[in-house]
């Protein structure tokens, strides 16, 4: 091979032939240069003769390697296609076949929990849901009557299949924690074994184990109140339902999670920035959730090889978010000021969850992943009248000290 290249270089340095030049009566083209165009007709015949076998051998080797590379490329494409159940190569697949996910906090088809369920299902995971007890009947009724069929559609043409829905109230860890007023509440009538411990035991009895645990629930009974007007009970209720519930879920589900599993939760920018109107202790609850994520990543990672992350999602007009009272304004603000001027879709969060649950994120844990079109990175509202005034009169700002 080396000798062939050497002889070719020697011949080409003596005579340069353009792509349209003729040699020995043969016309070459830019796409196909024949040997007679490389070696001039007047060149030494012995050089021509000695070069020909080497050139032919070189061309044969290149063709062989090319055919082998193309064959290996086709085989790789078939492997990738088989993973995703498609007829074409997708490049880098997310394959969660054989994995089982439990998603706590799904009560309709408009929230982040539903989008996460769809994304995990599209990647091949089996889906189990935990639904707040008072919302369970209407959720299952809508599911059975086909009201969610349109939103159940997956990108591959299939539909989100839910293996089982469990009643769940993550505010209560064990049956002993349930107060009498809740036990006798008619909204809980007809349901049983819905505390965190009982649900984990039921999942173990039904399926043995899970691989993915998702916390997609929060509640602040005084969320519309400023922090200074929030009662102790309202504050502690927000912490209990929105952050400690994640600790409790992981505590009771960890024994049935397979080694190398994944746990995810959902947080919000109010954990680290002032969001006026997001009150009742909810900003404190999200801050606690993110702090707990880091500690849980260490403890669950060292003991069970479990990765723990949280997704900081931008504003979404879900039914749950309507309780804040100004969610539409938050969405408009994000569209106007985020680096990416587009409305956040629940699928954006769902796809990120699927990535974090996959082996592609095998070294990511204890992390807050922002899915908010980049709003978290902004330190200035570009649609503010103050910004517009400064931009329209730069001369007035020229004397401002640096």
Residues taking part in catalysis = 268, 278
CA pair distance 85, 70, nearest whole angstrom: 22
Tokens 């070294």 found at: 363
Cα end-to-end distance, the chain, whole Å: 65
Q: Give the number of other CB atoms < 10 A from CB of residue 313.
A: 22
Point out which residues pair with 128 in neighbouring strands. Answer: 102, 164
For the record, the structure tokens of 36 come out as 């007679």
Tokens 């050497």 found at: 6
Do the Cβ atoms of 269 and 375 come closer than 8 Å?
yes
**CA distances, 268 to each of 97, 173, 316, 328 (Å):** 30, 24, 11, 16
Give, in degrees to the nearest 5, the angle at Cα 223 between 218 and 227: 120
Give, in degrees to the nearest 5, the angle at Cα 115 between 288 and 137: 90
CA pair distance 312, 281, nearest whole angstrom: 17
DSSP 3-state of 309? strand
């Amino acid at each position: 091979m080396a000798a062939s290249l050497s002889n070719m270089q020697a011949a080409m340095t003596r005579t340069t032939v353009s792509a349209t030049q003729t040699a020995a009566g043969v016309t070459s083209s830019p796409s196909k240069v024949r040997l007679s165009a490389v070696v001039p007709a007047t060149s030494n015949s012995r050089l021509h003769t000695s070069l020909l076998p080497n050139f032919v051998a070189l061309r044969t080797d290149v063709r062989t390697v090319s055919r082998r590379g193309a064959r290996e490329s086709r085989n790789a494409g078939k492997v990738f296609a088989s993973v995703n159940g498609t007829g074409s190569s997708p490049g880098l697949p997310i394959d969660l076949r054989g994995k089982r996910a439990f998603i706590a906090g799904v009560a309709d088809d408009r929230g982040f929990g539903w989008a996460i369920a769809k994304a995990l299902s599209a990647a091949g995971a089996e889906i189990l849901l935990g639904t707040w007890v008072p919302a369970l009947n209407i959720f299952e009724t809508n599911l059975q009557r086909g009201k969610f069929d349109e939103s159940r559609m997956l990108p591959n043409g299939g539909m989100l299949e839910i293996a089982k829905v469990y009643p769940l109230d993550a505010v209560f860890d064990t049956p002993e924690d349930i107060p009498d007023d809740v036990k006798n509440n008619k909204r809980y009538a007809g349901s049983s074994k819905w505390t965190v411990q009982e649900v984990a035991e039921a999942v173990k009895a039904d399926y043995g184990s899970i691989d993915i645990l998702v916390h997609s629930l929060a509640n602040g009974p005084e969320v519309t109140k400023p922090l200074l007007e929030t009662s102790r009970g309202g504050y502690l209720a927000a912490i209990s339902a929105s952050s400690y519930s994640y600790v409790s879920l992981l505590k009771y589900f960890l024994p049935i999670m397979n080694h190398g599993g994944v746990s995810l939760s959902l947080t919000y920018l109010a954990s680290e920035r002032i969001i006026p109107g997001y009150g009742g202790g909810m900003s404190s609850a999200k801050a606690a959730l993110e702090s707990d994520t880091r500690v849980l990543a260490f403890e669950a990672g060292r003991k069970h090889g479990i990765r723990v992350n949280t997704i900081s999602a931008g504003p979404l007009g879900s039914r749950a978010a309507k309780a804040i009272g100004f969610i539409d304004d938050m969405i408009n603000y994000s569209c106007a000021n985020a680096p990416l001027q587009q409305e956040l879709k629940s699928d954006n969060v769902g796809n990120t969850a699927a990535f974090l649950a996959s082996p592609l994120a095998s070294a990511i844990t204890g992390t807050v992943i922002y899915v908010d079109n980049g709003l978290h990175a902004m330190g200035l509202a570009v649609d503010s009248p103050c910004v517009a005034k400064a931009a329209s009169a730069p001369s007035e700002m020229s004397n401002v000290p640096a």
